[in-house]
């Protein structure tokens, strides 16, 4: 697999957090950053997919505004 060297700028505070995590996990900085970026990308993609699914379901039941959401929630039976 081809690799590309990429530089980023981080604050001193974030660098301290990164270095603390590398010590806690016993991982090289490079491994920690690569894992963090992968997890962030996966998480954001999953979140967008869940939002898309939620919007589809909302449209299917006629919920399109915040007022519709309130009406929908008000119509639900009260939790005991």
Q: What is the Cα–Cα distance from 18 to 24, expressed in whole angstroms?
A: 10
How many domains is the chain built from? 1
- The residue range of the domain holding 35 is 28-75
The answer to whether position 13 is within a domain reads no
**pLDDT tens digits, one per residue of 9-35:** 999 999 999 999 999 999 999 999 999
Please answer whether residues 64 and 58 qualify as being in contact, where contact means their C-beta atoms are separated by less than 8 angstroms.
Answer: yes
Q: What is the pTM of this model?
A: 0.72
Does 1 have pLDDT greater than 90?
A: no
Q: Is 56 part of a structural domain of the chain?
A: yes
Q: What percent of the chain has pLDDT over 70?
A: 99
Does 61 fall in a domain? Answer: yes
Residue 2 lies in a domain: no
């Amino acid at each position: 697999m081809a690799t590309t060297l990429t530089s980023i700028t981080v604050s001193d505070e974030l660098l301290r957090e990164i270095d603390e995590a590398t010590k806690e996990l016993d991982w090289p900085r490079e491994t920690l950053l690569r894992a963090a970026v992968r997890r962030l990308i996966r998480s954001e993609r999953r979140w967008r997919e869940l939002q898309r699914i939620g919007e589809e379901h909302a449209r299917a039941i006629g919920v399109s505004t915040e007022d519709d959401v309130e009406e929908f929630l008000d119509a639900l039976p009260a939790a005991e």
